Amino acid sequence: MRGAALENLTGAIVELCRAGLSPEALRDSALPRLRRAVPFDAVFWATVDPTTLLFTRGHQDQIPADTIPYFIHNEFLDDDVNKWTALARDRVGVRTLAEVTAGKMDASPRFRDIFRPLGFGDELRAVLRIQGVCWGYLCLHREAGRAFSPDEVRYVRRIAADLADGIRAGLLISSVDLADVDDAPGLVVVAEDGAVVSMTAAGERWLDELRPTGARSHQLPSEIHALAARLKRPDAADAGLPRLTVRTRSGRWAVLHASHLPAMDTKAVAVIIEAPSPSDLAPLLMRAHGLTPQEQALTTLICRGLSTRELADRLRITPNTVQAHLKAIFDKTGVRSRRELVTAILQQHYLPHTIAGRPLAPSGYFRT
């Protein structure tokens, strides 16, 4: 597919990413369209926790479900190529197995053990990230003898940020129906003329905090109008979903995101207002093991696949101090290596929530 047909298809995928669909609905709608531009025979799609880069929701099509334990073991315990944590640190973030093995795909245990026996050949892996934050993984597979082309790699790279933005927006909008606490995400739907179409109770609470002292109750804060205007700009698709961080009247911070809502007039804008979730904080699950703040930060970076030198540079400590922290972490968590640590975190704190179908929070981790 080329020319105008490809551009029209790309525009349709971008519109889906901007429609506020849940991550699952986005996946089900976007993958058939992607298949027209980049044909594939099997696919793996996952949402991930942006903090640790560990899977939160996985989906496989034409790949046997009983292979999941192997993939987890391969990703976190085995030596292999084209791994997600490596791709997340890769500037491009999209690679094929044929490319990274120089055509010798048997160099990958994952290929030898699983995909070659299934009759598959090349794989195209992509991290779905925007503004440096990873929200999902995508892996396309083809039958043996049909490698992915450089043009197809470039196309997946072109839409990866849109898919990431779509996942992020879907998590925000999905969270509105799940929360009823004071700092829960709020939803405000604004018509083209600036009038409020509807809002949730949490949305009204946030608006009350955002309005200047003395403002009337029907007046929308200027930040809402600014976000709605930015979403309508011709270059909005290239810039991602608009986002603002502001301080409320009470002195706390709020993050505002604008998106379109599914099944509504496309000119109506949904604004999500939520409390910020700093991505540099270690997940609460690490605190359950009694890890210190420094050990939590180190564990988060271990999940991202950083080496000892990279850990030392990032935390501005010596390699010997890194090793001392690692020993303390291993003792507290009952593991003997970094790989076992990541596997333990995944199996104890991610897989049970995934199996139970627990909803995801706007942060990308499970709602606590």
Give phi and psi for 148, each to the nearest 5: -80, 140
Give phi and psi for 161, each to the nearest 5: -65, -35
Could you tell me if residue 366 is inside a domain?
A: no
For 329-351, the DSSP string reads HHHHHT-SSHHHHHHHHHHHHTH
**Domain containing 338: what range?**
284-356
Distance (Å, whole) CA 163 – CA 171: 12
Q: Are residues 196 and 154 in the same domain?
A: no
User: Is the Cβ–Cβ distance between 156 and 124 less than 8 Å?
Assistant: yes
Q: Are residues 203 and 319 in the same domain?
A: no
Residue 213's CATH number: 3.30.450.20
Residue 111's CATH number: 3.30.450.40
Could you tell me if residue 219 is inside a domain?
A: yes
CA distances to 106, 219, 346 from 53, in Å: 26, 41, 10
Q: How many domains does the chain contain in total? A: 3
pLDDT of residue 280: 29
Could you tell me if residue 12 is inside a domain?
A: yes
Q: Are residues 192 and 315 in the same domain?
A: no
Q: Are residues 127 and 30 in the same domain?
A: yes
Could you tell me if residue 225 is inside a domain?
A: yes
Q: Are residues 142 and 9 in the same domain?
A: yes
Q: Are residues 154 and 206 in the same domain?
A: no
In single-letter form, the type of residue at position 324 comes to A
**Beta pairing, strands 55-61 & 186-190:** unpaired
pLDDT of residue 42: 97
Distance (Å, whole) CA 38 – CA 193: 40
Q: Are residues 130 and 14 in the same domain?
A: yes
Q: Are residues 242 and 329 in the same domain?
A: no
Q: Are residues 12 and 147 in the same domain?
A: yes
Could you tell me if residue 66 is inside a domain?
A: yes
Distance (Å, whole) CA 330 – CA 357: 29
Q: Are residues 191 and 307 in the same domain?
A: no
Among 229, 250, 274, residue at a domain's last position: 274
Q: Are residues 32 and 166 in the same domain?
A: yes
Q: Are residues 72 and 156 in the same domain?
A: yes
Could you tell me if residue 362 is inside a domain?
A: no
Distance (Å, whole) CA 142 – CA 35: 11
**Nearest C-alpha neighbor of 97 from the set 75, 74, 115, 78:** 115
CA distances to 266, 295, 310, 315 from 320, in Å: 56, 14, 13, 12
Could you tell me if residue 363 is inside a domain?
A: no
Residue 313's CATH number: 1.10.10.10
Could you tell me if residue 63 is inside a domain?
A: yes
Tokens of 186: 């709020």
Among 142, 175, 208, residue at a domain's last position: 175
Specify the residue for token string 């509504």: 264
Among 214, 244, 274, residue at a domain's last position: 274
User: Is the Cβ–Cβ distance between 18 and 259 less than 8 Å?
Assistant: yes
Please report, in tens digits, the pLDDT of each residue of the chain (368 residues total).
Answer: 678 899 999 999 999 998 888 899 999 999 999 999 999 999 999 999 888 888 888 899 999 988 888 888 888 778 899 999 899 989 999 999 999 999 999 999 999 999 999 999 999 999 999 888 899 999 999 999 999 999 999 999 999 999 999 998 888 777 665 555 566 778 888 887 888 888 888 888 888 888 877 667 667 888 888 888 887 766 655 556 677 777 787 777 788 888 876 545 557 888 888 876 533 233 444 555 678 888 888 988 888 888 899 999 999 999 999 999 999 999 888 888 888 888 888 777 787 878 788 888 777 877 75
User: Is the Cβ–Cβ distance between 212 and 227 less than 8 Å?
Assistant: no
Specify the residue for token string 């298809």: 9
